Amino acid sequence: MSRTLLISGASRGIGRAIAERALADGHRLSLGVRHPVDLEGSALATSSRVLVHPYEASDPASANAWVEASAARFSALDGVIHCAGIFSRAGLLFDAAETAEIDQVLQVNLMGPWWLTRAIWPHLVASGDGRVITLVSMSGRRVKGPLAAYPVSKFALLGLCQTMRNVGWPLGIRVTALCPGWVNTAMAAGVQSIPPGAMTQSEDLAVLVSTLLTLRKEAVPFELAVNCLLES
């Protein structure tokens, strides 16, 4: 079954791998990216089944404009995959200068998916088989170390996913929170404790998302934890 999907953060990393796999699977895609030029020359930019649209996750008006443009191009929209996100090393005893950074992390990682889901929700309801897949992270399930801003944003995002699931369930909308640990992306470039090849790869997550999109609504998992490390 082919779907019409909005995918945020599709210009690189996990979002791009998911978009490339979804295109290969035959889906119609609307890709929200901060800089559309980043996709120039790729199959994602040249396919007739793809719309590339500017999107700023910290701006609710941007979410509304993207959804409106997507509906105008494809009419029916039946899925959204939230991949846009930013990292922060701000800790519990953050400096005053980090206040704006913390605010930005919450805006992008929490409010971005919230605004975008709200904007697309009527289309998901109309589809009768709407799907919401959100890249949450293992940092939304447990905290290891001194970081605060990033895991707080992801814990809140997981809570938002639970509410999406509760509200969407009787409407045929199924929600999955995808929770990977270390993934070989630019965000993990500074990690010294585990080599890139031993991390989960973006393409691995793309395969999982591909499978999620094929499942009947009666079989869609809510939370999918993926970790390259053994944790107690």
* CA pair distance 223, 157, nearest whole angstrom: 12
Identify the residue whose tokens are 């790869």: 201
Which residues are annotated as catalytic?
Answer: 150
Q: Are 52 and 39 in contact (CB under 8 A)?
A: yes
Q: Quick one: 197 exposed, middle or buried, by C-beta within 10 A (0-12, 13-18, 19+)?
A: exposed
Asked if residue 58 lies in contact with residue 102, where contact means CB atoms within 8 angstroms, the answer is no
d(CA 96, CA 181): 29
Q: What is the dihedral of CA 102, 105, 111, 116, to 10 degrees?
A: 160
**Longest Cα separation, the chain:** 50
